Structure 1
Amino acid sequence: MPKKQTKTNFNKSERFNFALTWGDVDGREYRQEIVDLANKIGRTKAGTSREAIPFGPEYYALAPILDEYQAKMAIHLEFRKKLSAEDVAKASGEPYEKVKETLDYIAWAGVAFVNTIDGVDMYWQDIFVPGHLELINNNKELVAKHPEVAEAFYYFGSKKGPMAAGIMPVGGGPMRVLPIERSIDGNSRKASYEELSKHLNEAEVFSVSDCSCRTSREEMGEGCGHLKEDMCVQLGHAAEYYIKTGRGREITREEAFEIIKRAEDNGLMHSIPNLDEPGHTHAICNCCGCGCYAMRLANEFVNNDIVRSNYKSVVDEDKCVACGECVDVCPTNALRLGQKLCSKEPIDEKMIKTTPRNTEWTQDKWNSDYRVNRKNTLDSGTAPCITNCPAHIPVQGYVKLASQGRYTEALELIKKHNPFPAVCGRVCPRLCEEDCTRGDIDEAVAVDDIKKFIAEQDLNKDVRYIPRIRHDYSDKKIAMIGGGPSGLTCAYDLAIDGYDVTVFEKENKLGGMLTFGIPSYRLEKDVIEAEIAVLREMGIQFETGVEVGKDVSIQELRDKGFHAFYVAIGAGSGRKLRLEGEEASEVLSGVDFLRTINLSEPTNVKGKVVVIGGGNVAIDVARSAVRLDRVVQTDIFCLEARENMPAHAEEVEEALEEDVKINNSWGPTRIITENGKVTGVEFKRCLFVFDADGRFNPQFDADDKKIVECDYVLLSVGQTFNYGNLLEGEGVKLTKRNTIEVDHVSLQSSKADIFAGGDVASGPRLAIDAIAAGKEAAVSIHRFVQKGQSLVFGRDTHSYKVLDKDNLTENQGYDGTVRQRTKHINGKESRTTFKDLRGTLTEEQIKKETARCLGCGATKTEEYLCVGCGACTLKCKFEAIKLEKIYDVKGYEIDDLPKAVIKKAASRKAKIMANKINPFTKTR
């Protein structure tokens, strides 16, 4: 008979963990046979702190999938003792046929193992984890019908994880990290049981299945973007069970090796069930730190000893270039970027102050937000270049590769973060150089010139870098609306993941503002085309001359099978000033003027030209006007003083060299016309642009005015958006600035399947900002179109911090090599053509310039947090990080483990007491 739950059956911490999920359970009826079975599988006793209780996670894993008879038959099975249906029938007194049918169901459900031995099906039980909770969650039919079993898997960790903090000896955890074999090749101290190949070569039967941890996460809507399919490899008896019950498909040993390598190449690491006999296992899991429940023990409960291998990572700072590739794949955030320059005051590089080894480990010491709070750098900061770049491109890394002549690898590294290095090498405002530490000595490293040299490979179709397609998600169609830098970047990253991507562009050419808004003297159009050609080779489809909202609606694209949309239409329309005379035909938008020039269309602009605006676009407009044969004079008028102009200082100087006259601190009051034609502009003196609170609030001297004669006025005072009918009927919210309102992390709009980024979400910014947004959108769209994936959990937070340059010592042995430059082009020459006359550094100059880099940053490792998986070593191109063996533990027999735990717990308790008596002498 069902019993009723009472408060005396429920421990307070368990009430906190589970009642929130499954509601108040007091007074609810429960099934005693399920509680009994849960305690038998868990090898726990009623009344103890570890017991399985009604409505606890073990209960919810079993109750939905077993009826009373099935549960009672399961109770007759034994831990790792193989019994036949005939054995169980005799023990229970039940008919053989009914028992056999029941046991087959129990095994299919995941509450028992089954193998056919000498023609007879033999059944047995194991522990919950690693064991039956994985088996249950690998049953797709049951999880779909009873999603609570997925939640039970998660909450089992919530119950058991805190209990094990600090008391589990290294090598004794139920799951253990197995180092990637390539990371310990050549290590003279490695043991055979630490080699993945040993386990694969010893097995005769293999299967592969979905990852049960990610299945659970997915069902809870908390996936991390690492998908579950074909992730876990079973060996021997486990493989036989998985094949027999339909959980996995049979594979060959060669396929198993291929699956393992593919996982490693994609940044995953391995863990194995660790409670078989020491040195043996029945499965190899390909894990991530953000989804794996074994790694959760380390990441949330900071109990890294329970899963660690015998190794730790060691960084050779002399070789390290702070590229961050190792940081990206570290499953425990044990690697972070720091600095390696000498400091006046010592820097605290500890990532964790206390550990469970010698401290009472209460909930306030957990890292419960580990899936959203990863850090890329130490609190003391790292190199300014990678930090200041909106896309966080690892400058120091590709500079070092270039210094070694490894140009293809350098290009590959750049293009992981930016698919348009040749473009950016010509037009980027070099935020990486603005705070370059070398600039405090003489001049910043010529980062953009180095990048431009590396990216020259992209202009040659025979040697350009085409990224490897990592997955096949071609069953999902994604639409980019807008073919500018943001949309193209998003398309590039999604194509790498194997999605079916189509870019819709209303113009007949791709590139957006790169094509239509940047003059050729800065960016030749063949450069854009060369880098877009890479996207074509990747299989991305382009529909040019198609305006979404006019030629086809978003809903019509949905009806054609598109699963998600990225709106990246840019800010292609010029703002107006609402001045008297602004409607005259000789008053043009600066961006419209640039579009005409870039398309080589005829223009009537001539005579004296006034450009209004002080930003980069205004400079481009003025320098383009100067190049027209019929223009006799070009003047820029802007509100800002020279030192406060938003335009890049170098471009201002180039404009001056080309005889563009810049008139600072003037604001237009009206455009003067006679007989409908422009004759001049009236300006008044601007006293200041921003008020004391930093708000745009220009103030003028009404008595200080002047009239400037001109024939044409080109307005470059900002850009806005032309949505047309794009968003009609979609319910997409706009901000007060007329941008699309999006979540600041995911870039998801108020319409779930519509994402937006670049200028249309942020307002007009730089091309590199648009590129960075495109990358984030690709991460979100991948997660959105895949079942059960969170848009936030486990994604890169881009949490960077600049090192304190004031704390650096002054004499660090720098060489005196001057900054390398291309030949300077005189403004009188450059103004005569729209060709880009700027050259590229020679290879000899590249060697000199890359040597000027001070190498500010380096990866730092926290020994306690590192679990010795080796994923970092595969990503390093500089042999700067390796695994070092620090333990020599093979494992424990499961029946011997309790003794080891008791011994470790006693030692830990003594350390905690010692630290309380003398807190100034911490014991480890």
Structure 2
Amino acid sequence: MRENLAKLVTHINALNQNPTETSPEYIFFDALLTDEMVDTALKIELRTPTYIDQVSKRIDKPLEYTAKLLDEMVHIGILEYMTDDKGVDRVYLPIFVPGSMELGAMDYWRTDKYPQIAWAFPAYIQGLNKGFSKYFPMGTGLVRVLPVQKAVENDSKTVNLEEASYWVDKYYPSISVAPCECRHTRRMNGEIGHDLEGEWCISLGSFSESCIRTGKARRISKEECYEILRKAEENGFVHELTNVYGPEESTFICNCHWSSCMALRTGWYCNTPDMVRSNYLSSVDKEKCVACGQCVEVCPMNAVKLSQQLCEKKPVEIKAAVIPGNPEYSEKHWRPDLLTERGYVVPETGTSPCKTDCPAHIAVQGYIKLASQGKYREALELIKKDNPLPAVCGSICNRRCEDVCSRGDIDDPVAIDEIKKFIAEQDMKAETRFVPKKLNDKGQKIAVVGSGPAGLSCAYYLAELGHDVTVFEKEKQLGGMLTLGIPSFRLEKSIVEAEIDILRAMGVKFVTGAEVGKYVTLDELRRCGFKGFYLAIGAQGGRKLGIEGEDSENVMSGVDFLKQINLGKQAELAGKTVVIGGGNVAVDVTRAAIRKGSDAVALYCLESRETMPASADEIEDTEAEGISINNGWGPKRILTENGRVVGVEFMRCLSTIDPETGEFNPKYDENDTMTVECDNVLAAIGQSIEWGSLLDGSKVELNSNNTAKTVPIQDVVTFKTAVAAGLEPEEYHLPTPFEVYQTAEPDIFVGGDAYSGPKFAIDAIAAGKEAAESLHRYVWEGHSLVLGRDRRNLHYLDKENADLSSYDTMPRQRPMVKEEAVKTFNDSRATFTEEQVKNETERCLGCGVAHVDENICIGCGLCTTRCKFDAITLRKEYDAWGMQYEDLLVALGQILANESK
């Protein structure tokens, strides 16, 4: 124990009178300061500018020697330069935070050299927070939120101190920018997530000049400063000011992500928002809000949630957070699990069913409202927050949003998918299509293998995050099963091509005819600089029936039949065709068979009509074309003559699901049979995954059905630097498992059908976005795959408690049929007219609404930057201001004294 260093800790931190060798502030400066520096710092009064000659006399050293020593201490960060009005140097001993700890960590090389300070910096703030934050009077936190200027500048109650431009104008030209030390230390600890390091810290005044002089920051213009503030808001970063110099002075404007910022954690970890909040609170205009969820996802405190708008038969209370000031407040109300459980964003009421049940959680209610206002491009932009292939989904989505639509409890569900299809036509035109901006200026090389919906979705969001993405496709056509496995009368190929063109505009590169594993190996791609891989090869093979005669001539898998058609190969049929299977692929195959010359087509499946996997509208379309559907029959054998098919013998299927296990295990009555004459058999009973040599030499493991295994997330995440230094780590428990799509080969992630088995396009799209988030984190060193991740755990409202009695019935709009396209390979379904869209959007009940927990809102205003409906605004609620650090200590002392009584 260095006795004088312990004295210095006490000298600077009046709240720690008994430092030990494990005190974070002791550890921090034990690494950086010599004994001479410690002794010198003890001769300088805290927060009092002191001339160099005064220090020289106090330590009894020559002036030149003292100046050199103090300059070294300023470079380390224990001191600052604070030049007087005549340009004469003074030095200043700041408090630890905000102050010398930030300065000490601003030089990344120094933190890398002494990793224990990467532990000590956040540990000190966390300890301060746990011990004292609940006692800080409102508005007196060491660092305080500065609201988004556009959210407050027109408020007559606003004063200039609450606008960013005031601070920039006040200190210009003494403004500079530096790399963020919070993000760097978080990364070193392995607890940073989505957020990236970069130049986000704007220094002001004499603090800025000291940072510029010591190489910690670079001077910037006003224009560059405002651009940083703009980009911060675009990325969802909170503006914050230092708050220990009274209301009229500050030293920097931070631009912080909720998960990595030291100060913001002061607000949410111990549920003490008064430590950081501004004078503002968010308010929701329920008449304008459409529960799109954009405000929810950007809220740093998880204070905004998605509630319900419908009247309730029995009102459900939404409980507010318990914070200091409430006599019930205690440690049990802390929120240390916010980093691992972020995304529980629905209160007791539930919210809109459409957004909840959509696998991608698209803002359905939001884009319907925008469409009702004629804002089609804005609606398209909102959809693409969660689904980069809206035109594709407009043609083939299985419409789970409509299955649960509350309107369906009155008459018919809103035609959500038809509205989306109309909106998505904006993407078909170069002048109205939406191409997102890149959120980051730097990225890594990432390879996506497979250009189906999962691969395209992952590539889209990786490119938006700034990465250099290359998609490898083994076929000569892009689109995977969208192009090869779906007939064009359901999904026209021009739609897929137009959506892919947007990815090209984003900088995504495509290589076709390139089977990875055969054309190029993963190891070769690694040597070419690729840092991560997303394997989304789909399930493009057919499955065998496993019965006699299936290797005969004119027996083919349905998948291969569709692939031949889509590749332009000869696939003509003659005579009668039997299709075996009950899913969407099977009904697509039947409709394609009739178009390829078959005289008659009949479909046979195990399931009953009610339990067929195929969607209801596709079954209706199939029957409308004269194709018979025969339920409850399974193939026993294929009958042949001279090697050619002449018929199929079927047996009665009694059940398909084992009642004990819930697994697929069909039971048959083999004595109840029938024979169906035919000339062709197309088997569409499922799809298989064909890995080829893609995984050769890798550690990726496969399940029994050939899907790729992923590794479970860790049970506990800890500070890496703490563990390495033998210190007590902060632990984050992960009580609720979730999927990050990483395999046993750490740089390989999987998704889509290759992971889940055959599912729907929207499932693959949702998985692709999540995998993009995982890959974005993985390719940056020290980024956790789980911490700070938005889990998006939604549940919808209790329909039995919803009062729908006041709504009149309104007929659902139906798409017209293009007669000239019927029974061709062109899509016969017409897109809604604009009038139909307006009529259909009026049928939406507007089930959801945003709800703000004002107890924990910190008034940052980020929510207002996301809302397209002016439904959420800031209102001035407080008139509290910071105070000098010395006065704050007095105030804290009085509060503690009163509490002890």
What's the TM-score bracket when you normalise by the shorter of the two chains?
over 0.9
User: Structure 2 CA distance, aligned partners of 1:174 and 1:376?
Assistant: 29
State how far apart, in whole Å, the 2-side matches of 1:185 and 1:83 are. Answer: 39
Residues 373-452 of structure 1 aligned to structure 2 (within 5 Å)? 373-374=341-342, 375-452=344-421
- 2:878 maps to a residue whose letter is Y
1:329 is aligned to 2:320? no
Tell me how far apart the structure 2 counterparts of residues 736 and 102 of structure 1 sit (CA, whole Å).
68
Q: Secondary structure at the match of 1:863?
A: coil
Q: Are the counterparts in 1 of residues 578 and 681 from structure 2 also a CA contact under 8 Å?
A: yes
Give 1:707-726 correspondences, 5 Å limit: 707-726=675-694
Aligned partner (choices 109, 119, 144) of residue 176 of structure 1: 144
Aligned pairs (5 A) from 1:382-531: 382-474=351-443, 476-531=444-499
| TM-fit CA distance, 1:861 | 0.5
Match of 1:246 in 2: 215
- Deviations along 1:665-710, one digit per CA (max 9) or x if unpaired, are 1111111222211111111101111122322121111210112111
1:784 aligns with 2:775: no
Q: Distance in 1 between matches of 2:869 and 2:65?
A: 63
Q: Deviations over 1:828-862 (max 9, x none)?
A: x7653111111011111111100110000000000
1:68 aligns with 2:39: no
Equivalent AA in structure 2 for residue 639 of structure 1: L
Question: Does the 8 Å contact 1:129/1:174 carry over to 2?
Answer: yes
Preserved contact between residue 306 and residue 851 of structure 2 (Cα < 8 Å): yes
Q: Deviations over 1:49-86 (max 9, x none)?
A: xx432221111111111222222222222222222333
Q: Deviations over 1:228-286 (max 9, x none)?
A: 20111001111112111211111112211110111112221211110012232110011
What is the aligned counterpart of 1:107 among 58, 74, 82?
74
- Residue equivalent to 2:263: 294
Deviates more, 1:93-102 or 1:658-667: 93-102
The structure-2 alpha-carbon separation of the partners of 1:313 and 1:708, relative to structure 1 and needing over 3 Å to count, comes to same
Query: Is 2:588 the counterpart of 1:620?
Result: yes
- The alpha-carbon deviation at position 542 of structure 1 amounts to 0.7
Question: Do structure 1's residue 751 and structure 2's residue 745 form an aligned pair?
Answer: yes
Equivalent residue for 1:574, pick from 542, 548, 555: 542
Matches of 1:357 and 1:281, distance apart in 2: 28
- Tell me the CA shift for residue 301 of structure 1: 0.5
1:40 paired to 2:33: no
The reply to whether residue 87 of structure 1 matches residue 54 of structure 2 is yes
Corresponding position: 1:795 with 2:789: yes
Instruction: Using structure 2 for the length normalisation, give the TM-score.
Output: 0.94
Q: Residues 543-622 of structure 1: matches in 2 within 5 Å?
A: 543-622=511-590
Is the Cα–Cα contact under 8 Å of residues 470 and 496 in structure 1 kept in the other structure? Answer: yes
List aligned pairs for 1:168-247, cutoff 5 A. 168-204=136-172, 205-247=174-216
| Equivalent residue for 2:638, pick from 641, 660, 671 | 671
- Specify the code of the residue in structure 2 equivalent to 1:616: N
- CA shift, 1:606, in A, is 2.3
CA distance in 2, matches of 1:585, 1:301: 71
Is there any run of 5+ residues in structure 1 with no aligned partner, and where?
1-29, 911-924
Distance in 1 of aligned mates of 2:816 and 2:209? 70
Tell me what 2:230 maps to.
Answer: 261
Structure 1 residue 96, shift from structure 2 partner = 3.8
2:798 is matched with 804
Q: Aligned residues, how many?
A: 871
Q: Spell out the pairing of 1:851-862 with structure 2 (5 A cutoff).
A: 851-862=842-853
**Worse-superposed segment, 420-429 or 249-258:** 249-258
Q: Which amino acid aligns with 2:353?
A: P
Shift of 1:605: 2.9
CA contact (8 A) 1:171 1:890 kept: yes
The alignment partner of 1:768 has SS state of: helix
Tell me which residue corresponds to 1:763. 757
Give the corresponding residue for 1:890. Answer: 881
2-side partners of 1:899 and 1:37: how far apart? 21
Distance 2:16 2:682 in 1: 83
Offset at 1:151?
0.8
In structure 2, the residue corresponding to 1:69 is in which secondary structure? helix
SS of the residue aligned with 1:846?
helix
Check 1:351–1:715 CA distance in 2 against 1; reply closer, same or farther (3 A cut). Answer: farther
Distance 1:136 1:774 in 2: 40
Match of 2:242 among 247, 250, 273: 273
Q: Which moved more, 1:335-344 or 1:63-72?
A: 63-72
> Given residue 623 of structure 1, which amino acid in structure 2 is its aligned partner?
R
Partner of 1:128: 96
Structure 1, residues 506-535: CA drift from partner, whole Å, max 9, x if none?
111111111001111011111111111111
2:840 alignment partner in structure 1: 849
- CA–CA distance in structure 2, aligned partners of residues 855 and 662 of structure 1: 38
Contact 1:279-1:890 at 8 Å conserved across structures = no
Task: Tell me, in whole angstroms, the C-alpha distance in 1 between the residues paired with 2:843 and 2:471.
Answer: 41
> Is residue 169–residue 305 contact of structure 1 (8 Å, CA) maintained in 2?
yes
Amino acid at match of 1:735: N
Q: Which moves more between the two structures, 864-873 or 154-163?
A: 154-163
Aligned to 2:615: 648
* Match among 812, 815, 819 for residue 822 of structure 1: 815
The SS at the match of 2:89 is: strand
CA contact (8 A) 2:752 2:767 kept: yes
How many angstroms apart in 1 are the aligned matches of 2:894 and 2:239? 28
The answer to whether the Cα contact below 8 Å between 1:817 and 1:848 also exists between their aligned partners in 2 is no
Name the aligned partner's letter for residue 473 of structure 1.
Answer: K
Whether the aligned pair in 2 keeps the contact of 1:150 and 1:217 (CA below 8 Å) is: yes
Partner of 2:625: 658
**Equivalent pair of 1:613/1:717 in contact (CA under 8 Å):** yes
SS of 1:643 mapped into structure 2: coil
Q: Which residue of 2 aligns with 1:18?
A: none
Alignment partner of 1:617: what SS?
A: helix
Match of 2:855 in 1: 864
Amino acid across the alignment from 1:593: F
Structure 2 Cα separation of the partners of residues 895 and 576 of structure 1: 80
**Whole-Å separation in 2 of the counterparts to 1:902 and 1:740:** 60
In 1, the alpha carbon distance for the partners of 2:403 and 2:38 equals 69
Q: How far apart are the structure 2 equivalents of 1:76 and 1:733?
A: 64
Q: Distance in 2 between matches of 1:469 and 1:59?
A: 42
TM-score between the two structures when normalised by the length of structure 1: 0.92
Q: CA deviation at 1:365?
A: 2.4
Partner SS, residue 896 of structure 1: helix
Note if contact 2:410-2:809 (Cα within 8 Å) is conserved in structure 1: no
2:715 alignment counterpart: none
Contact 1:745 1:792 in 2 (8 A): no
